[in-house]
Amino acid sequence: MTREEQAALDAVMNFLDSYAQRNIEGCTSAIAVSRPIMLFGTNENEVFRTSGDLRSALKRDFASMANIRWGKHRNIHVEVASMFASVIVELPISYQIYGKGVETLFRYALTLTKEGEQWKICSGMASVPFADGTYLFPK
């Protein structure tokens, strides 16, 4: 991995680490300010076009979630061009929500832009895949 590819991956992992720490400022500092953003969360109503939208969603998440832990990241793909980077990463997560333990898998596909010397997230989406054979498309 090149230095720039590692820097883009580090920016994403810092965002995810901030999420696990329930650190709203750390999460929002990873988001681009030099261009419009578009982020999709895992729920159908989670469409974020401003850092304020994201901040509100993080507050909602952190009001109900505790003990957030990421497992080892896997299935990583990083591409870097001069001003943009693409990071795709899959990692397990465990957390407590309303006192109940949850373990699942998250997948992120994120686009980052260069702001000064730092990579910042400007678009992307999170998904939680269904187990094999549990999701069917109607015919």
Residue pair 101/94 in contact (Cβ under 8 Å)? The answer is yes
Domain boundaries, the chain: 3-127
Q: Determine the pLDDT at residue 135.
A: 66
Residue 133: band (very low, low, confident or very high) from pLDDT cuts 50, 70, 90: low
Residue 134: band (very low, low, confident or very high) from pLDDT cuts 50, 70, 90: low
73 vs 138 pLDDT, higher one: 73
pLDDT in tens, 70-95: 999 889 999 999 899 999 999 999 99
| Predicted structure pTM score | 0.90
Architecture of domain 3-127: Roll (3.10)
Q: Determine the pLDDT at residue 129.
A: 86
Q: How far is CA 73 from CA 2, 9, 25, 76, 92, in A?
A: 18, 11, 23, 7, 7
| Residue 23 clears pLDDT 70, i.e. is over it | yes
Average of per-residue pLDDT across 130-139: 70
